[in-house]
Structure 1
Amino acid sequence: MVLKMMGMLILGIASVSDIRTGRVSLWMVLLAGACSGLSAVIGITDRMTTVPELLSAMIPGAVLLWIGFISANAIGYGDGLMMFMVGPLFGVERMVEGMLLAFFVSAIVSILLIVLRKVNRKTTIPFIPFLASALGVVNFVL
């Protein structure tokens, strides 16, 4: 639980950075990876998880990286890398739920901003804040 809270704190800091600069620092991604790595070691040694479960939890991040690649970086690599790194920390179920909720909420917000003429279709909107919020909801509320 402590490592999940640390992961959420890192996602919160990354959210602020993503909103302010449109970038996510590599050290934040690596720190998230360190939390996930520590969680993975503890999970495996305590027989609470398996290596295939940990690897499958990285699939949502890999999918996001792939989408970023084929869409000419429409979704940033920082978003995909962060999801890839926190995957083992939260598990595949929570990552998929979080990713779907983040996509849904970001789509609603984007449509609302376009309708209100605050942004246009070419405007980039930070995704990490949606991901952090969604993971917070699926891990600590639901």
Structure 2
Amino acid sequence: MHVYPIVLAAVWGIAGGLLAPRAAYRLAVPADTPWAAACPSGHPVRGWLGPARCRTPHCPSGSYGLGYGAAIGCGAVCGWLALATGAHPELVVWLLLVPVGLVLARVDLMVFRLPDVLTLPALGGAVALLGVASLLPSHQGSWLRALCAAAAVGAVYLVLFFVNPAGMGFGDVKLAPTLGLVLGWYGWPTVFTGTFAGFALGALTGLVLIALRRANRKTPIPFGPFMLLGALAGVLF
């Protein structure tokens, strides 16, 4: 694979990481609460894309969201996806989902929430775009299998939610089909790997926090970031 697609993907990721902080800040509010419309000091926040930095002169809040590290990380993930996936049409879908995943992870870490305004369009958009990708001759996956995997992974999370609603939010259930769709594009072993990796990462993090006495068995831990990291690991490896 030529280096140019990798560089372009990395540049896209950095741009997405730079545009994501404001949306992540505005969406990071408790359920049934209007989206944030002011900085922590009370000055108005306008628009959804761009840095989370107050434009009011001498505002003590300054920068109050994701920093440049998130943009660099987003660029690295996109570049790595391009390297691992190759110049195939499904790569476009993965690159579009990465900034969305960044915002979802940030919001879940802040307020234990995965907003429908992101999870549901992400699913619909991914289904449609992968359907288009499946019609192109250079694709390397199966749209029908991806749909089946989305239904299967979503069903697994739904069962887990009903079995233990205190241990899993319904936002996780809504995110699961999108991740199942992505993993299923490449095959059932990838579905298993990516799903298992999410649970393993979450469990390991919980054990580490307990060992460090920063949490106990009843301490809630946002699971969305681990789901996203697991799916990423499944695609990459």
Cα distance, 1:104–1:86 mapped onto 2, change above 3 Å: closer
Residues 16-45 of structure 1: per-residue CA shift (max 9 Å, x gap): 000001001101111211332223321443
User: What does 1:1-142 correspond to in 2, within 5 Å?
Assistant: 1-46=91-136, 49-51=142-144, 53-58=145-150, 59-91=152-184, 92-140=188-236, 142=237
Cα distance, 1:107–1:86 mapped onto 2, change above 3 Å: closer
* In 2, Cα distance between equivalents of 1:85 and 1:31: 10
Q: Secondary structure at the match of 2:216?
A: coil
* In 1, Cα distance between equivalents of 2:172 and 2:164: 14
**4+ residue stretches of structure 1 with deviation over 6 A?**
none
* Contact 1:98-1:138 at 8 Å conserved across structures: yes
Number of residue pairs aligned between Structure 1 and Structure 2: 140
Shift of 1:65: 1.6
- Relative contact order, CA 8 A, sep 6+: which one is greater? 1
Residues 78-98 of structure 1: per-residue CA shift (max 9 Å, x gap): 112101133223314433211
Q: Which amino acid aligns with 1:23?
A: R
Q: Which amino acid aligns with 1:76?
A: G
* Contact 1:36-1:86 at 8 Å conserved across structures: no
* In 2, Cα distance between equivalents of 1:65 and 1:83: 9
Residues 59-118 of structure 1: per-residue CA shift (max 9 Å, x gap): 122201210111134111111210113322331443321110111111111011112110
Q: Which amino acid aligns with 2:149?
A: A
Aligned-residue RMSD, C-alpha: 1.9
Between the two proteins, what is the percent identity of the paired residues?
24
Cα distance, 1:90–1:5 mapped onto 2, change above 3 Å: farther
Q: Per residue, is there more helix in 1 or in 2? A: 1
* In 1, Cα distance between equivalents of 2:219 and 2:233: 26
Q: Which amino acid aligns with 1:139?
A: V
Shift of 1:46: 3.9
- Bigger mean CA offset, 24-33 vs 72-81: 72-81
* In 1, Cα distance between equivalents of 2:223 and 2:165: 16
Instruction: Give 5+ residue unaligned stretches, structure 1.
Output: none
Instruction: Give 5+ residue unaligned stretches, structure 2.
Output: 1-90
